[in-house]
Amino acid sequence: MDEAVGDLKQALPCVAEAPTVHVEVHQRSGSTAKKEDIKLSVRKLLNRHNIVFGDYTWIEFDDPFLSRNVQSVSIVDTELKVKDPQVTDSRCQEIANP
């Protein structure tokens, strides 16, 4: 039974041991949007662009809300300077409050 669970765990895209990925969101200085609204829109962005290679920064958005309120969204993995860039599945990431 434990062996079958291990096999299934590897087949699933989002597992508990998924690496932590740092996501930086720079809100525009004139924006009055609530952090929770921005967080929700960034989460949708990450779900639409679920795989990125290495560090990645969005500065243009197809979402009008993000365009009005966010200057940039970056996925940053500081360990990439030490090793080769890794593919990141952004769907599994938790966005922490700053």
Q: Tell me the CA end-to-end span of the chain in Å, nearest whole number.
A: 41
Yes or no: say if 10 and 29 are a contact pair by the CB < 8 Å rule: no
| Token representation of residue 91 | 């769907």
| Token representation of residue 38 | 């921005």
More confident residue, 37 or 8: 37
Mean of pLDDT over the chain:
75
pLDDT at 18 over 80: no
**String of b and e for 77-89 (b: at least 16 CB within 10 Å)?**
beeeeeeeeeebe
Query: In 12-81, which residue ranges form alpha helices assigned H by DSSP?
Result: 35-48, 64-69
* pLDDT reported for residue 22: 82
Does the pTM of the predicted model rise above 0.85?
A: no
pLDDT digits (tens, 9 = 90+) for 55-77: 889 999 999 999 999 999 998 86
Q: Mean pLDDT throughout 43-54?
A: 83
Domain boundaries, the chain: 21-92
**How many alpha carbons fall within 13 Å on the CB side of residue 54?**
6
Query: In 1-85, which residue ranges form alpha helices assigned H by DSSP?
Result: 2-11, 35-48, 64-69
